[in-house]
Structure 1
Amino acid sequence: MSALTAYDLFFRAALCRIDPERAHGLASGLIRSAARVPALRGAVAAAFAPTPPELRVSALGLDLPGPLGLAAGFDKNATGTAGLALLGFGHVEIGTVTGRAQPGNPRPRLFRLPKDRALINRMGFNNDGAAVVAARLARRPRPGPVVGVNIGRTKAVPEERAVADYVAGTELLAPHADYLVVNVSSPNTPGLRDLQAADRLRPLLTAVREAAERAVPGRRVPLLVKIAPDLADEDVDAVADLALELGLEGIIATNTTISRADLATAEGAVRAAGAGGLSGAPVRERALAVLRRLYLRAGGRLTLIGVGGVETAEDAWQRILAGATLVQGYTGFIYGGPGWARRVHRGLAERLAASPYATLAEAVGTAAHRAPAPSAAATRPRRGPASERQAP
């Protein structure tokens, strides 16, 4: 029995019967435990971490073992970065971390849509706050995995104080971040997405950049912004232009969506889950389209990170061809299990070997201009090859 089939059965028989947030807590605890026990750490790394050497990539001034990383949202408080690296992730983005600690929204706030291989979350940036997370990052062993820090606005802070709140978090976290991400695209903090408008985003990003420079003199911490898939095309262009104007290092495309279009899950079940951001397979096509648009607008002048509906090696490969230097996943990991990152990296190595490109860097953006024709089925989830299928 393959590891994938074993996880598939475990997901069906056990995980689907446990509250999603509780299951997440149990999984996170196991990952942390694996990193603390030397013998177990070695066994887990041997089973899951090896990445084909041809997939090494340089991005944001960093050297990474592979292009696939874990998106923000899984390890909100930087408690499991070492364990997650053992599972084969080339980088781990922690957070979202806010200037002040906050409990997030009331439970239940995380829901599975297995028929769509998707999640709905309205977590609300539950986290320990910038001071606690910064202290935890300061204690992490070196060398260790590349760790990005995703920062957001504290819900209790009024919108007119949003910039100051981001600055406070930046000053604490920037010294411990391999890169910083300004999150203005979560749908779960009221008013947050309004900050994606260029006239409001400019002063925010300028202030965060200046705060990072004050906090880390002599080292330029790469700064990125994470945007929503729900932005209109002209707004995507405006963010790309602004990122170039301000000298940002990159953009992450994309966050979760507020759309509920074309889901296989029964409408009543979707309504029962309620508000929140939808992630997973249904976001795939729009996230890919936003990424492609960003690459065509900014070329190689920005490092683009593709996220949203990445489940298989083919999904990751298409993001690279569309312009992504790095790729991230979250929901694919939840449905795919501990061997997911290794399977994706192995599949990428196979695709690279079969391509005309010697390195992943050569492949980046080569198909950005070849957008597929839209179709009614474009947003519907699909099954990958048998070797790549995820748990339903």
Structure 2
Amino acid sequence: MFFDSLVRPALYRLHGDDAERVHERALQALSVLGSAPQTVRQALRRVNAADDAVTVFGVRFPGRVGLAAGMDKDGRALRAWPALGFGFVEVGTVTRHAQPGNPRPRLFALPASDAVINRMGFNNGGADALAARLGRDGRPDVPLGVSIGKSKVTPIDDAVADYRTSLQALHPFADYVAINVSSPNTPGLRALQDRDSLAEILAALRDTAPRTPLLVKVAPDLTDDALGELLQVCTDHGVAGIIATNTTLRRDGLASADTPVAAEQGGLSGRPLTRRALDVVRFVHTQTSGELPIIGVGGIGGPADAEAMLDAGAALVQVYTAFALHGPALVRRINRTLAAERARWPSAY
């Protein structure tokens, strides 16, 4: 494809092995696209979008393919994403306090494995800054999800107040809010997936924004027993859905050419996560008797992977790594395939 053969190699020639610099350049370009005349963006959207609308947790999505959190943390290119065919956008993960994240380098491409390792550490401008941008510039014309996480400077014992403050600032702009308790790159964060900790967070957030759908993003590294406990807590506290999954600490399925990079710390995403993410989606769907909507994310590299996620029980899917590595044509291909097969999956939850 054009992106694989020309665009991506050109970006890496300009910036060497600095994957984060490539990411920043791409986001700058998308910000420019977002500022293009509305007629241009609408024309692009007609080419890239799909007639595959679905209602999930009370929100009408024009398409099932969304942008996962992490690509546009601070909402800098919100008007561009619908033009590329995305049916919804999730920004973040943002935290109560602005933070620089972990030291660079912290993002590593593994091209032979079609994968990425990141240890970004929730680098973002903070919840108030994102709220100010959304208040000033408005939301995209597709549903907007906001992923919130715990600030690194906040002790685990104070996590509830940290999440609550972010939710208070951002829920007026969000069609749903994702509660990220599963990133491997903030010390102690995954402990918040435990029954008592998660129950306390969910109770507080439900009281803070009772009309906003709350979703919990889960780690792929949980055992079935631990995941079953988490789902029970989510059900008890009226969670609107599950996002499955975050990145993994495992290093299964990597090509030998990527072995040196595989030693880097951080969460792995992309093709090696495909099977595990699918297994988690299937487990959540079965465990909840199909009554808890799922956004499937992890290792979706093309239409067949998206179809498999939906067949396993997901209502929506998100992409990130394959989009970053292979470009916007991926979204168009998935959209067209899902639209042609839309009768296979539920139209509402």
Separation in 2, partners of 1:143, 1:152: 22
Q: Paired residue for 2:86?
A: 89
How far apart, CA to CA, are the structure 1 residues paired with 2:142 and 2:108? 29
Tell me whether 94-103 or 136-145 shows the greater mean CA deviation: 136-145
CA distance in 2, matches of 1:320, 1:350: 14
Q: Deviations over 1:3-40 (max 9, x none)?
A: xx211112553133332111111111111111212154
Name which of 143, 146, 153 aligns with 1:146: 143
Picking from 3, 12, 15, the partner of 1:7 is 3
How many angstroms apart in 2 are the aligned matches of 1:92 and 1:193?
Answer: 24
Give how far 1:363 is off.
11
1:1-392 alignment runs, 5 A limit: 5-11=1-7, 13-17=9-13, 18=15, 19-38=18-37, 40-48=40-48, 50-51=49-50, 53=51, 55-141=52-138, 144-213=141-210, 220-266=211-257, 268-272=259-263, 274-352=264-342, 358=343, 360-361=345-346
SS in 2 for 1:288: helix
Q: How many residues are treated as equivalent by the alignment? A: 345
**Are the structure 2 counterparts of residues 234 and 11 from structure 1 closer, same or farther at C-alpha, using a change threshold of 3 Å?**
farther
Listed one character per residue, the Cα deviations across residues 192-237 of structure 1 (whole Å, up to 9, x for unaligned) are: 0011111211101111111223xxxxxx100010000000011111
2-side partners of 1:338 and 1:123: how far apart?
23
The alignment's TM-score, normalised by the length of structure 1, stands at 0.84
Q: After alignment, is 68-77 or 336-345 more displaced?
A: 336-345
Would you identify which runs of 4 or more consecutive aligned residues in structure 1 move more than 3 Å?
A: 140-143, 265-268
CA distance in 1, matches of 2:72, 2:338: 25
Judged with a 3 Å threshold, the aligned counterparts in structure 2 of structure 1 residues 143 and 337 are, in CA distance, closer, same or farther, namely: closer
Deviation larger for 260-269 or 327-336: 260-269
**Matches of 1:224 and 1:362, distance apart in 2:** 19
In 2: Cα distance, 1:95 partner to 1:265 partner: 32
Residue segments in structure 1 that go unaligned for 5+ positions in a row: 214-219, 353-357, 365-392
Offset at 1:142? 5.8
Q: CA RMSD in A?
A: 1.8
The secondary structure found in structure 2 opposite 1:108 is coil
Residue type of the partner of 2:331? A
Shift of 1:171: 0.8
Matches of 1:279 and 1:321, distance apart in 2: 21
Structure-2 separation of matches of 1:114 and 1:342: 22
CA distance in structure 2 between the aligned counterparts of 1:70 and 1:330, rounded to whole angstroms: 6
Residues in 1 aligned to 2:284 and 2:58: alpha-carbon distance in whole angstroms: 20
Closer, same or farther: CA 167–12 of 1 in aligned 2, 3 Å = closer
- Partner of 2:268: helix, strand, or coil? strand
Q: Bigger CA drift: 329-338 or 108-117?
A: 329-338
Q: 1:158 to 1:65 in 2, by over 3 A?
A: same
Contact 1:81 1:147 in 2 (8 A): no
Sequence identity percentage: 48
| CA distance in structure 2 between the partners assigned to 1:267 and 1:259 by the alignment | 14
Letter in 2 for 1:249: A
In 1, Cα distance between the equivalents of 2:268 and 2:227? 19
Relative distance call for 1:143 and 1:192 in structure 2 (3 A) is: closer
Distance in 1 (alpha carbons) for counterparts of 2:135 and 2:248: 33
Q: Secondary structure at the match of 1:300?
A: coil
Deviation at 1:300, TM superposition (A): 2.9
Assess if the C-alpha contact under 8 Å between 1:113 and 1:120 holds in 2: yes
CA distance change for structure 1 residues 28 and 233 in 2, over 3 Å: closer, same or farther? same
Matched to 2:346, the amino acid is: A
Distance 1:226 1:143, change over 3 A: closer
Query: Do the aligned partners of 1:320 and 1:363 also contact (CA within 8 Å) in 2?
Result: no
Q: How far has the Cα of 1:246 moved from its partner?
A: 0.8
